[in-house]
Chain A
């Protein structure tokens, strides 16, 4: 049943939000702390558990996959209701923050990847042949 997957997703979502609210209250704030992240972790754990016990059929999974696939359209709809008129007044902030992050992170990627140990000669040769 496709609704089982969607219901599993809904339960993880709600439990995550509740735990996030409880965490927020425990930390002395009125806001939700990481509820969405907790819900994601719950869903990953639930999926692994249900897979192991073989209780998650392909049809049920479709009930989750649909919503995962719909997230870009939802983000598009979210973009459509933002206060862009007000945001444009702060224009350079977005541009500078984005450029700064990309340049700095790019430098870090390059730095870390230069530290990568060279693969053994045979493996490298095999890869070259594949390409």
Chain B
């Protein structure tokens, strides 16, 4: 019985991956609602569970690809691989309304640019301080400080090692969680009152999940304004990370 089940899972890798990830997302949603009362968004919890499972997989297999190194879960490798990841990320651009984006005006663009460059510099600086002295690793960790999607996209483009990629994602995930939890608490200090202020926030705080969850817990009406600018964040980061930012870091090292 067990053997039949295992064979089915192994021979239908991608389908198994859909089922596993769906289950993890379901559990994360319950944890989000019951334990954090919606303050920490389900997607962030799901990613943390994913990283925890990757740790378990890495320990069990001794490999470098987390859970995907276990034959039973090999489909995870395809579902979370470069091809489908980039495909899904490109698809999110479909939600962006150019007219509304234009209304965000120059202040949104400035916030967006600052929100890309400032975290990147912090990430690169911290990476350098901890002994990651090669341009590829520093850029990947710096890009992870932009968002947890820019990190791996940049890392994959410039050929970073998997452990640096994981570190980069961890940085982005920790940042997203911090934004979610801290935004409602810091709303007064951040002056989050108007659509314009939400756009500035969306540009600087990055991470769509962090921004939308943080704003939802502060003032629901501000969510679309922040998320609108934040959706450009990943695109801008993916554009600048493996190109301009990487060249600058490479020139300086």
Contacts and interface: CB of A to CB of B under 8 A. Distances in A.
Interface string A9-43: 11011001100100100010001111111111101
A19 B93 CA distance: 17
A58 interface: no
A41 B231 CA distance: 12
Interface in B37-62: 43, 46-55, 57-59
Interface of A: 9-10, 12-13, 16-17, 20, 23, 27, 31-41, 43-44, 47-48, 61, 64-68, 70-90, 92-102, 104-106, 108-110, 112-114, 116, 119
Interface in B92-150: 92-96, 98, 107, 110-111, 114-115, 118-119, 122-123, 125-127, 130, 132, 141-142, 144-145, 148-149
16 contacts: A33-B243, A37-B235, A64-B91, A83-B58, A84-B170, A90-B163, A97-B144, A99-B174, A99-B178, A100-B123, A101-B123, A105-B204, A108-B111, A109-B190, A110-B189, A112-B111
B94 A98 contact: no
B191 A43 contact: no
Contacts of A33: 157, 242-243
Given A74-B85, A77-B76, A93-B127, A12 B90 contact: yes
Interface of B: 17-18, 21-22, 24-25, 43, 46-55, 57-59, 64-69, 73, 76-77, 79-81, 84-96, 98, 107, 110-111, 114-115, 118-119, 122-123, 125-127, 130, 132, 141-142, 144-145, 148-149, 152-153, 157-159, 161-163, 165-167, 169-175, 178-179, 182, 186, 189-192, 194, 196-197, 200-201, 204-206, 209, 235-243, 247
B148 A102 contact: no
B201 A109 contact: yes
Interface of B is mostly: helix
Nearest to A81: B68
A102 B48 CA distance: 19
Contacts, number: 303
A39 B91 CA distance: 9
A16 to B, nearest CB: 7
A83 B204 contact: no
